[in-house]
Structure 1
């Protein structure tokens, strides 16, 4: 018997698989705890270059950013007193830029220091695959990797 799979039957099969929990889990967003929402927002917009998207809470404690591919980053300032998070460079966000040299120039113009993966101030790390990367800290002390794997 010759069975022909039609586009409709393939779509139906994929819908049934996803309804039964067999679809791949995907990232939707990540959130960053901010001590001062205004200062953190300015950093992520002016320095990192993220674009704001609609913020549904409208409570003055959140800012949302488009990070590409339908994903978002949320800054959240809690109403409770600031709690110092445990910060280590191993736990970091990573953004890729098309021109790392231009990004470093922007850092210099804004007096923002950077370092390589092993804490050498003002140095660029080159991974074994040739990707260049630097690390900076946001106003809350969180580490951010910036690389040229754009």
Structure 2
């Protein structure tokens, strides 16, 4: 059997990213792994409902933003609070694309990663 464990984003400013993910999506740290020498820190964020985690990797010596290539990928979230989150994300100024025909939108995190927000459909 094979199952998902986590997904990784490398981040330039860990404190800023942690604040973004908690405010925008309610994700909170569920475990951390700091390097003994302080050269990196891994923080795993959970949603409190599933076992899936988003790993944020911070590298102490990294000073340049990450090259995300053409950005032709994203991480998707489904929510039963779609309208509420849309209002929050509009207030935060992080909505980067809306597809009203499909009933979805995307937000962009501080490092340029795109996150799709999907309504829970019955």
Judge same fold: TM > 0.5, yes or no: yes
Structure 1 Cα separation of the partners of residues 65 and 96 of structure 2:
25
Match of 2:52 among 58, 71, 75: 71
RMSD: 2.2
Closer, same or farther in 2 for the Cα pair 1:87/1:134, shift >3 Å?
farther
For residues 58-110 of structure 1, the C-alpha deviation after alignment (integer angstroms, 9 at most, x for no partner) is: 75733221144322111111123235222444310111111211111101222
Regions of 4+ moved over 4 Å: none
Structure 2 Cα separation of the partners of residues 149 and 88 of structure 1:
28
> What pairs with 1:1-150 in structure 2 (closer than 5 Å)?
24-57=1-34, 59=38, 61-67=41-47, 68-81=49-62, 82-116=64-98, 123-126=99-102, 132-149=103-120
Closer, same or farther in 2 for the Cα pair 1:125/1:44, shift >3 Å?
farther
TM-score with structure 2 setting the length: 0.80
Structure 2 Cα separation of the partners of residues 69 and 113 of structure 1:
25
User: How many residue pairs are counted as aligned between the two chains?
Assistant: 116
- Structure 1 residue 57, shift from structure 2 partner: 2.7
Point out the structure with the larger strand share: 2
TM-score with structure 1 setting the length: 0.67
What secondary structure sits across from 2:96 in the alignment?
Answer: coil
Gaps spanning 5+ residues in structure 1: where?
1-23, 117-122, 127-131
Gaps spanning 5+ residues in structure 2: where?
none
Higher relative contact order (CA 8 A, sep 6+): 2
For residues 111-148 of structure 1, the C-alpha deviation after alignment (integer angstroms, 9 at most, x for no partner) is: 323313xxxxxx5341xxxxx21111100001111111
Q: Which has the larger radius of gyration?
A: 1
